[in-house]
């Protein structure tokens, strides 16, 4: 009961602040992101007009209401019309009059067709003989206890007198077992409904305080009849706020959670996308990420960082993505045959909170906490394959071998200095046959008098060049060196020249160059098969 009293007191303060706001400035339109800016925006967003509420209007029609120099009943009738006009279509109105006995003069849903009947439900004149407040409260509870009653209920109880029951009333006194029974019934209604009881005394010394003996936390007001109209309009507005509050509190039961998983290649730098889903259906939320917690499959922490904004907004029913970078410590796989596959699983949780927006406006509607924690975890399944297949190793080895062979061939063809080929044969028959042939050896060779008899002081150097296998070049270090053209004519060579098949003269020695050495005829012993004479 005390909790509901605090809620009602707080709601009344909020209403007063809202009325001041409405009077001071026109309602602001919702923004382009459809975030509500005013209470009217919230009413429209939550379709408060589609939520029916109960109004039980209890009016004292005893004779005292029509007595005096300025009887209050005509002002009550006028304010009652204002109240009926303010109640939205779809709400259920019960109108109870009481004097000697309570009477239900109207019961029904407000609509364009029934509004006029509800407006004329009160009798034109109050002329009852007694004032049975206990019976009126009993009739009020009967309307609240209906099986089809609404969850949000408002009671407006109006009287100008004291409890004055007729003989035979179930409530002859202002206390007793019958009043205890009323209290128990009211407590059950208050437990299962959002109930607001407004008691109005329109004269001095009324017994409207008897509502306190039955209802746990009624609001008792003493008002002159001419202030009833604005008070009734405020009561309707408070009923709408109560409906809005219940809808908002139902919305606030939703949350924001992580709803994603991912697959990635296992490296030392894993980038993954975490998806946050808002379960709110009408209100946006502002999410703030403080830190990221990530662990591997063994529960050991993994370095993780956020790649993006720390604060962002998720609109109703929408999602937002957060880029997270994981940096696990991995060992170098090394060379392995055959290949191996390594898998790892990581769990990512966000230390993040959300606040439902617009927080300032919602705080005027409900006392429920507008913040919460983002729940759920994001799982990343990773894998890496390392090592070499036997086929790949053989292919690589064959490739390396082929490359080496190619390089070797290129080396031999273009880089390696080839050997001298061929022979020089001296044309002087006086020289023994075994000394006439000079075989070219090595990669550089010098011909002088020591090798070529008759060369005198002439000196010739033979050499090869890279990329020219089978070619022999000569450099004249000491002339004369001649090339014999046709057996008679000679052409003196003073510079480098290529030695080709033919006859040359070095000094006074004539030499003939051949690529290959002549084969000498094989000599063997002849067996004499005849007789010795």
- The per-residue pLDDT string of the chain (533 residues; one tens digit each, 9 = 90 and over) reads 434 444 454 445 444 444 334 333 333 333 346 789 999 999 999 999 899 999 999 999 999 999 988 899 999 999 999 999 999 999 999 999 999 999 999 999 999 999 999 999 999 999 999 999 999 999 999 999 999 999 999 999 999 999 999 999 999 999 999 999 999 999 999 999 999 999 999 988 899 999 999 998 999 999 999 999 999 999 999 999 999 999 999 999 999 999 999 999 999 999 999 999 999 999 999 999 999 999 999 999 999 999 989 999 999 999 999 999 999 998 888 888 889 999 999 999 999 999 999 999 999 999 999 999 999 999 999 999 988 888 988 999 999 999 999 998 888 778 888 999 999 999 888 888 888 899 999 999 999 998 998 999 999 999 999 888 889 999 999 999 999 988 778 999 998 999 999 999 999 999 999 998 776 665 555 444 444 43
Tell me the torsion sign for CA atoms 33, 34, 36, 38: positive
Q: What stretches of 369-464 show up as alpha helix (H) in DSSP?
A: 390-410, 433-436
Residue-by-residue DSSP string for 340-359: EEEEEEEEEEEEEEEEESSH
Cα–Cα dist 180/137, whole Å: 12
Tell me the torsion sign for CA atoms 180, 214, 149, 188: negative
Report whether the peptide linkage leading into residue 480 is cis, meaning its omega lies within 30 degrees of zero.
Answer: yes
- Work out the number of other CB atoms within 10 angstroms of the CB of residue 9: 12
Give whole-number Cα distances, 407 to 165, 393, 400, 404, 418, in Å: 125, 21, 10, 5, 16
Q: What stretches of 89-208 show up as alpha helix (H) in DSSP?
A: 115-119, 133-144, 177-192
| Dihedral, CA of residue 257, residue 261, residue 266 and residue 267, to nearest 10 | -40
Query: Is 220 in contact with 201 (CB distance < 8 Å)?
Result: yes
Overall residue count recorded for the chain in this entry? 533
pTM, two decimals, is 0.67
* 532 phi and psi angles, rounded to 5 deg: -80, 125
pLDDT at 33: 60
Query: Is 312 in contact with 290 (CB distance < 8 Å)?
Result: no
| Dihedral, CA of residue 181, residue 187, residue 190 and residue 196, to nearest 10 | 70
pLDDT at 524: 52
Residue-by-residue DSSP string for 430-466: TS-HHHHEEE--SSEEEE-TTTSTT-TT-EEEEE--T
């Amino acid at each position: 009961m005390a909790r509901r009293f605090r809620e009602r007191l707080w709601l009344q303060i909020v209403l007063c602040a809202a009325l001041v706001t409405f009077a001071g400035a026109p309602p602001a339109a919702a923004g382009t992101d459809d975030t509500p800016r005013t209470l009217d925006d919230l009413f429209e967003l939550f379709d408060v007009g589609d939520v029916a509420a109960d109004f039980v209007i209890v009016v004292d029609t005893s004779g005292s209401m029509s007595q005096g120099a300025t009887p209050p009943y005509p002002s009550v009738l006028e304010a009652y019309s204002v109240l009926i006009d303010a109640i939205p279509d779809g709400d259920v109105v019960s109108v109870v009059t009481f004097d000697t006995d309570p009477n239900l003069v109207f019961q029904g849903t407000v609509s364009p067709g029934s509004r006029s009947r509800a407006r004329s439900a009160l009798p034109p004149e109050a002329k009852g003989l007694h004032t049975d407040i206990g019976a009126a409260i009993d009739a009020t509870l009967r309307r609240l206890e209906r099986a089809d009653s609404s969850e949000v209920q408002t009671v407006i109880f109006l009287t100008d007198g004291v409890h004055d029951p007729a003989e035979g009333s179930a409530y002859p006194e202002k206390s007793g077992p019958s009043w205890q029974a009323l209290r128990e019934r009211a407590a059950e209604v208050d437990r299962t409904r959002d109930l607001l009881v407004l008691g109005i005394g329109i004269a001095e010394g009324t017994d409207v305080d008897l509502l306190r003996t039955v209802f746990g936390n009624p609001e008792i007001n003493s008002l002159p009849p001419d202030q009833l109209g604005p008070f009734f309009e405020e009561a309707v507005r408070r009923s709408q706020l109560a409906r809005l509050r219940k809808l908002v509190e139902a919305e606030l039961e939703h949350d924001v959670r992580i709803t994603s998983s991912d697959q990635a290649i296992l490296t030392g730098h894993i980038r993954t996308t975490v998806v946050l889903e808002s379960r709110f259906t009408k209100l946006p939320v502002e999410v703030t990420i403080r830190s990221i917690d990530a662990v591997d499959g063994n529960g050991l922490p993994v370095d993780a960082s956020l790649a993006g904004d720390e604060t962002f907004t998720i609109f109703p029913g929408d999602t937002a993505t957060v880029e997270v970078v994981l940096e696990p410590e991995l060992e170098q796989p090394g060379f392995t045959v055959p290949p191996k596959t390594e898998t790892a699983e990581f769990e990512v949780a966000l230390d993040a909170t959300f606040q439902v927006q617009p927080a300032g406006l919602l705080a005027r509607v409900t006392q429920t906490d507008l913040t919460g924690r983002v729940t759920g975890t994001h799982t990343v399944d990773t894998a890496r394959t390392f090592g070499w297949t036997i086929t790949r190793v053989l292919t690589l080895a064959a490739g390396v071998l082929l490359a080496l062979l190619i390089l070797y061939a290129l080396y031999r063809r273009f880089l390696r200095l080839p050997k001298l080929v061929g022979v020089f044969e001296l044309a002087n028959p006086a020289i023994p046959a075994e000394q006439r042939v000079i075989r070219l050896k090595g990669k550089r060779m010098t011909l002088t008098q020591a090798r070529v008899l008759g060369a005198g002081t002439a000196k010739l150097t033979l050499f090869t060049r890279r990329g020219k296998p089978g070619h022999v070049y000569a450099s004249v270090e000491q002339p004369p060196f001649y090339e014999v053209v046709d057996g008679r004519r000679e052409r003196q060579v003073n510079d480098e020249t290529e030695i080709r098949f033919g006859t040359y003269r070095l000094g006074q020695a004539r030499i003939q160059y051949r690529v290959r050495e002549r084969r000498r005829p094989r000599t063997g012993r002849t067996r004499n098969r005849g007789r010795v004479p």
